[in-house]
Amino acid sequence: MKLIMNAAGRMVPDEVNGIKSVPFRGVNGYKPEAKKASPPVRSCVDYPMDGNKVLPDLKEALIKAGIKDGMTISTHHHLRNGDAVTNQLFDIIHELGIKGIRWFPSASFPCHEHLIKYLEDGTIHHIEGSMNGPLGRFTSYGKMSGLGVLRSHGGRYQSVQDGEVHIDIAVIAAPTADPFGNANGVNGNAACGPLGFALADSEYADRVIVVTDNLVPFPCYPWHIQGNNVDFVVKVDTLGDASKIVSGTTEVTKSPDRLLIAEYVAQFIEDAGLMKDGFSFQAGAGGTNLAFVLYLKERMKAKNVKARFVRGGSTKYLVQLLEEGLTDYILDGQTFDLDGVRSMRENPRHINTSPFTSYNFHGKGNFASIVDVAVLGATEVDVNFNANVVSHSDGLLLHGIGGWQNCLYSKCTVLAIPSFRDRIPVIVDDVMTLCAPGELIDVIITERGIAVNPKRTDLLEALKGSSLPVKDIKEIKDEVEQICGGKPIPPKRDLTQPVAVIKWVDGTILDSVFKVL
Amino acid sequence: MKLIMNAAGRMVPDEVNGIKSVPFRGVNGYKPEAKKASPPVRSCVDYPMDGNKVLPDLKEALIKAGIKDGMTISTHHHLRNGDAVTNQLFDIIHELGIKGIRWFPSASFPCHEHLIKYLEDGTIHHIEGSMNGPLGRFTSYGKMSGLGVLRSHGGRYQSVQDGEVHIDIAVIAAPTADPFGNANGVNGNAACGPLGFALADSEYADRVIVVTDNLVPFPCYPWHIQGNNVDFVVKVDTLGDASKIVSGTTEVTKSPDRLLIAEYVAQFIEDAGLMKDGFSFQAGAGGTNLAFVLYLKERMKAKNVKARFVRGGSTKYLVQLLEEGLTDYILDGQTFDLDGVRSMRENPRHINTSPFTSYNFHGKGNFASIVDVAVLGATEVDVNFNANVVSHSDGLLLHGIGGWQNCLYSKCTVLAIPSFRDRIPVIVDDVMTLCAPGELIDVIITERGIAVNPKRTDLLEALKGSSLPVKDIKEIKDEVEQICGGKPIPPKRDLTQPVAVIKWVDGTILDSVFKVL
């Protein structure tokens, strides 16, 4: 392995876990000449004619699926920090004496700290997937055998579809399923909303195991996962802690600074002329995001403007927009609270979407680029609008990419961020980890002012006459450095030792995360 | 090409249109060692970022799709005999001077007689797909350049999925679509119900063109066809004659003989012990089928029995079952009347299914084999329970296979047929064209008696004490020959010249249709 400089000026490894990598070639700079992955043709002859694929337990299912050393095993993260299935899965794999697994989750959470012992004893060779919290920290200090690979939701779908990642066995925790393997996330004790993060797994894995604590008679409908792609079904007592799978409620921020950011975002959307009948926006689940939705809602009502669609992750605030007739549809890839789950279950206009529909960059278009305005967060932004979402200035890998990179393709991408956190500047000279090329970030909104990417002369023009505090990004940076007493102090890192890589939406390598000493 | 005898004792060509064929090897006798078809990886870079894929007309879309001589062009038959799009499509192809097209419809109808001139002038080389009426007759007399290939709905999905048939351009008529290409069949003037017959085409074709007369703003939902698989969208004035796309109403038979058959079917289902809480059945749209649903409904009400699901093609009679709470779900692949379309549009328990979910034999199971009882028709049945559904005793190829072969895998398959038609026996020594191996037919119900396949000793046992006229099939045959004045008179055929082949659900060749002189 050697490090080479990519088109973003970042040093990235020329191979990742033994596979030659393609360095980032610029936004829209890489088009593969390739065919999609091609799973084996199966035959009904090998499946029970009565449709009953239920096996006694997960261990038997893994054995029947042919588990062996070095395989790639995938899971999804719709159960979030309440997931009990993944830990049980690796307890069984360990018990079976299997080694060298590539774990391919759509993301991992603090509850998966349990797996560190399996990273240490060689049961798991390495993780490809976002690592929120303890596993990210473990990786940052160079303790994982292989390189971590972080992909966006769309990039994960792309990597499976394109055959970059071949999944041997997919284990899909499903809040409701039938014996044929049809499954959804909207019913049952562990109801989590949609199951789209497992879609690619169900379509392309050699073997697919559905694990449920709510087995219903065929047909389980809606079938977010289709039984025709499923090999085995396993019934367990519980998928995990329902209270950690979805929040009972989500709440807006109470911080005056964050509320100010939220107000600026709503005002920006109106003043820039984006808030018009039939428009669309994406909002996440952070406290600032929730607050901007409330402010925007008031502006929409005042001007009698209705959205065509809004994109989640959904919360009760988006659900209220739908129920009050302020949007025709919610197009939703994950639900963050119980109102979101209920709405998706009951309201046909609250639509289940997937990384395929919304984010896959190697499809015939996707939904993300149709959205008029996406409001996102970031851990750091630099003066060239480049942004980071996985690490802070301490260099530790603590967050996943999620759909964030994919959403950058919206017609107007806004980063709504505090200008500093814990007295450390968020606006910097150069981001610790590059996750977003600056040319895709249109506006940065902080409590100290709004910076518009100079490329977006149309937005700058539209904002003439607005009362918003539009400033040069360097001006905001200088102000923040004065408050914080200077630039962030760089951590000690070994810049010859990457511990993880950040993929761009097209599968190329955008940046490396280096070992923190 | 030479003819060889397959495992059913039928003479079939060893190659079909230049491709080596696999002769039928017995029910469940053939399992391919293969990988699924692998379409090209696309990139969002090549699609409009605002999601607007609308082109001015179909001609431009075909040119942009790279149409050229010898390509395979697919269409679906959800518009049935009201389809205007396919004829326009081939008018354009002819105008462009393109030759040698393999037309791959899911089925053709009498309205497509218009295309005979293009078969004659070489625009179309041959048809692979069911040919109802004039095109079947044309083919039967040996007038088509290539061999016709008839597949079941499931077999068509299987052939595309397995890469046996590579579709260059799919043209999907859609009663409603958005500019991104999301499309459905439940809204718009040409509403036809689901669009499942085009699913494989959208997933695997190199280029996909959606043609609609009802363009709505993104998102068109439900999206039976996903815009992420679509290259171009074309708006036309009309997709065709709505009154021929679905019947305004479907009506039960008035024939006393057919009503008697229907009564026997309902009684059989109850007497054989199949009508129990949570059971399932499949009913088609023929007059006899509609009548048996009405009789069965009365028996279900009398015994307070509720079905878990019923399978369409749906009609108002199935919709009534759903609306009266006599079934939890309709799982539906096509809607035959306006009540069916309305129900699918409005009732979340009237579920859109596809040949992938229901019929594909090269999946990890399918729905068809889960069904407790399937009631089907046939053109002929022989004394070994082998059945024909595409031709009559005159040898002419006049009907498609539809989902018929796929449904044979139900737990109990009933053929409900008159014992003769137009004074020609339907029960024969040997069927003209073999479409169903006798081992999959469990019961034959005619107005003159019921014959149970001797293999089904369980059913024979269950019917002891029933008042149904259970007879030996040969007994019924003898009776019918006496009435009709003997066996059917065989047509003059050239048995060295196949004009079409009948595929089995696994892609092997079950029988040939020979040239009628």
* pLDDT tens sequence across A452-505: 999 999 999 999 999 999 999 999 999 999 999 999 999 999 999 999 999 999
List, in sequence order, the alpha helices (H) in A314-384: 316-323, 338-346, 355-358
User: Do B217 and B289 belong together in one domain?
Assistant: no
Partner-chain residue, chosen from B44, B162, B356, that has the shortest CB–CB distance to A361? B44
Question: Nearest-CA distance from B434 to chain A in Å?
Answer: 21
Can you give the pLDDT at residue B286?
Answer: 76
φ/ψ (deg, to 5) at A118 = -80, -25
**Does residue A148 lie within any of the structural domains?**
no
Can you give the pLDDT at residue B236?
Answer: 98
- pLDDT higher than 90, residue A248: no
Can you give the pLDDT at residue A190?
Answer: 96
Q: Given phi > 0 = left and psi -120 to 50 = alpha, else beta, which region is A497?
A: beta
The long-range contacts involving B387-390, CB below 8 angstroms and separated by at least 24 positions, are B387/B415, B387/B431, B387/B435, B387/B436, B387/B438, B387/B441, B388/B431, B388/B432, B388/B433, B388/B434, B388/B435, B388/B436, B389/B435, B389/B436, B390/B130, B390/B136, B390/B150, B390/B433, B390/B435, B390/B502, B390/B513
Asked if B162's CB is within 8 angstroms of A44's CB, the reply is: no
- Pick from B96, B104, B88: which is nearest to B65 by CA? B96
User: Do A180 and A313 belong together in one domain?
Assistant: no
**Does residue A133 lie within any of the structural domains?**
no
DSSP state of A402: T
- pLDDT higher than 80, residue A400: yes
Partner-chain residue, chosen from A208, A349, A364, that has the shortest CB–CB distance to B231? A364
In A241-286, DSSP assigns E strands to 279-283
Asked if A39's CB is within 8 angstroms of B365's CB, the reply is: no
Q: What is the CATH number of the domain that holds A456?
A: 3.40.1080.10
Mean pLDDT of A252-276: 96
Within 8 A of A227 by CB-CB distance, chain B residues are 357, 364-365
Within 8 A of B51 by CB-CB distance, chain A residues are 365, 367, 369-370
End-of-domain residue from the set B196, B217, B244: B244
- pLDDT higher than 80, residue A238: yes
A180: helix, coil or strand? coil
Asked if B506's CB is within 8 angstroms of A43's CB, the reply is: yes
Confidence of residue A284 (pLDDT cuts 50, 70, 90): confident
Asked if B36's CB is within 8 angstroms of A39's CB, the reply is: yes
Ranges under pLDDT 50 in chain B = none
Mean pLDDT of A433-453: 98
- Chain B CA closest to residue A355: B228
Q: What's the total number of domains in chain B?
A: 2
Is the CB of residue B210 less than 8 Å from the CB of residue B174? Answer: yes
Percent of chain A at pLDDT > 90 equals: 95
Asked if B360's CB is within 8 angstroms of A226's CB, the reply is: no
User: Do B322 and B386 belong together in one domain?
Assistant: yes
Tell me the two tokens of residue B43. Answer: 């990139």
**From CA A214, how far away is CA A182, in angstroms rounded?**
12
Average pLDDT, whole number, for chain A? 96
* A98 to A77, A101, B222, B482: CA distances (angstroms): 23, 8, 44, 72
Question: Nearest-CA distance from A64 to chain B in Å?
Answer: 14
**Does residue A37 lie within any of the structural domains?**
no
Asked if B219's CB is within 8 angstroms of A362's CB, the reply is: no
Tell me the two tokens of residue B387. Answer: 């059945």
Which residues, including other chains, have CB under 8 Å from residue A471's CB and lie 6 or more apart?
A448, A449, A450, A451
**From CA A39, how far away is CA A61, in angstroms rounded?**
19
Tell me the two tokens of residue B322. Answer: 């759903």
User: Do A309 and A445 belong together in one domain?
Assistant: yes
User: Do A230 and A260 belong together in one domain?
Assistant: no
- Pick from B454, B409, B405, B462: which is nearest to B269 by CA? B462
> In terms of C-beta density within 10 A (0-12 exposed, 13-18 middle, 19 or more buried), how is residue A186 classed?
buried
Is the CB of residue B157 less than 8 Å from the CB of residue B403? Answer: no
User: Do A403 and A371 belong together in one domain?
Assistant: yes
Can you give the pLDDT at residue A88?
Answer: 98
Can you give the pLDDT at residue A332?
Answer: 95
Within 8 A of B360 by CB-CB distance, chain A residues are 228
φ/ψ (deg, to 5) at A206 = -60, -45
**From CA B357, how far away is CA A108, in angstroms rounded?**
32
Within 8 A of A348 by CB-CB distance, chain B residues are 348
User: Do B333 and B198 belong together in one domain?
Assistant: no
Which residues, including other chains, have CB under 8 Å from residue A478's CB and lie 6 or more apart?
none
φ/ψ (deg, to 5) at A170 = -100, 130
* A468 to A272, A274, A275, A451, B371: CA distances (angstroms): 10, 15, 16, 10, 64
Mutate to test the interface with B, among A41, A45, A310 (most CBs of B within 10 A): A41
What domain range is A347 assigned to? 256-498+506-516
**From CA B468, how far away is CA A149, in angstroms rounded?**
68
* B317 to A246, B296, B347: CA distances (angstroms): 42, 11, 15
- Chain A CA closest to residue B158: A41
Confidence of residue A251 (pLDDT cuts 50, 70, 90): confident
Partner-chain residue, chosen from B35, B36, B218, that has the shortest CB–CB distance to A370? B218
Can you give the pLDDT at residue B274?
Answer: 98
C-alpha B356: how far from chain center: 13
**Does residue A6 lie within any of the structural domains?**
no
Element (H, E) at B131: strand B130-131
User: Which has more pLDDT, A209 or B250?
Assistant: A209
Tell me the two tokens of residue A249. Answer: 């409620």
Can you give the pLDDT at residue B348?
Answer: 94
Can you give the pLDDT at residue A250?
Answer: 74
Is the CB of residue A22 less than 8 Å from the CB of residue A164? Answer: no
Partner-chain residue, chosen from A223, A229, A357, that has the shortest CB–CB distance to B364? A229
- Pick from B195, B163, B223, B170: which is nearest to B39 by CA? B163
Q: Given phi > 0 = left and psi -120 to 50 = alpha, else beta, which region is B194?
A: beta
Which residues, including other chains, have CB under 8 Å from residue B139's CB and lie 6 or more apart?
B127, B131, B148, B397, B499, B500, B513
- pLDDT higher than 80, residue A356: yes
pTM: 0.97
**Residue A185: CA atoms inside 13 Å, Cβ hemisphere, count?**
35
- pLDDT higher than 90, residue A288: no
**Does residue B33 lie within any of the structural domains?**
no
Asked if A228's CB is within 8 angstroms of B357's CB, the reply is: yes
Asked if A36's CB is within 8 angstroms of B40's CB, the reply is: yes
User: Do B206 and B350 belong together in one domain?
Assistant: no
Mutate to test the interface with B, among A22, A30, A38, A43 (most CBs of B within 10 A): A43
User: Do A337 and A441 belong together in one domain?
Assistant: yes
Can you give the pLDDT at residue A287?
Answer: 78
Can you give the pLDDT at residue B38?
Answer: 97
Within 8 A of B345 by CB-CB distance, chain A residues are none
Partner-chain residue, chosen from A36, A37, A42, that has the shortest CB–CB distance to B364? A42
> In terms of C-beta density within 10 A (0-12 exposed, 13-18 middle, 19 or more buried), how is residue A248 classed?
exposed
Asked if A35's CB is within 8 angstroms of B228's CB, the reply is: no
- Pick from A366, A334, A327: which is nearest to A349 by CA? A327
Asked if A45's CB is within 8 angstroms of B31's CB, the reply is: yes
For residue B224, how many other CB atoms are within 10 A of its CB? 26
User: Do B332 and B218 belong together in one domain?
Assistant: no
Is the CB of residue B324 less than 8 Å from the CB of residue B343? Answer: no
Mutate to test the interface with B, among A44, A159, A161, A322 (most CBs of B within 10 A): A44
User: Do B212 and B273 belong together in one domain?
Assistant: no
Asked if A228's CB is within 8 angstroms of B366's CB, the reply is: yes
**From CA A57, how far away is CA A68, in angstroms rounded?**
18
End-of-domain residue from the set A204, A222, A245: A245
> Side by side, which strands form the sheet with B327-332?
B350-352, B327-332, B307-311, B279-283, B373-376, B413-416, B443-446, B449-452, B470-471
Question: Nearest-CA distance from A136 to chain B in Å?
Answer: 31
- Chain B CA closest to residue A154: B44
User: Do B313 and B235 belong together in one domain?
Assistant: no
For residue B142, how many other CB atoms are within 10 A of its CB? 15
Within 8 A of B409 by CB-CB distance, chain A residues are 44, 49
**Residue B446: CA atoms inside 13 Å, Cβ hemisphere, count?**
25
Q: Is the dihedral of CA B84, B86, B89, B91 positive or negative?
A: negative
**Does residue B438 lie within any of the structural domains?**
yes
Asked if A41's CB is within 8 angstroms of B35's CB, the reply is: yes
Question: Nearest-CA distance from B410 to chain A in Å?
Answer: 9
Mean pLDDT of A34-41: 97
**Does residue A355 lie within any of the structural domains?**
yes
**Does residue B146 lie within any of the structural domains?**
no
End-of-domain residue from the set A187, A216, A245: A245
Planar angle of CA B209, B215, B220, nearest 5 degrees: 85
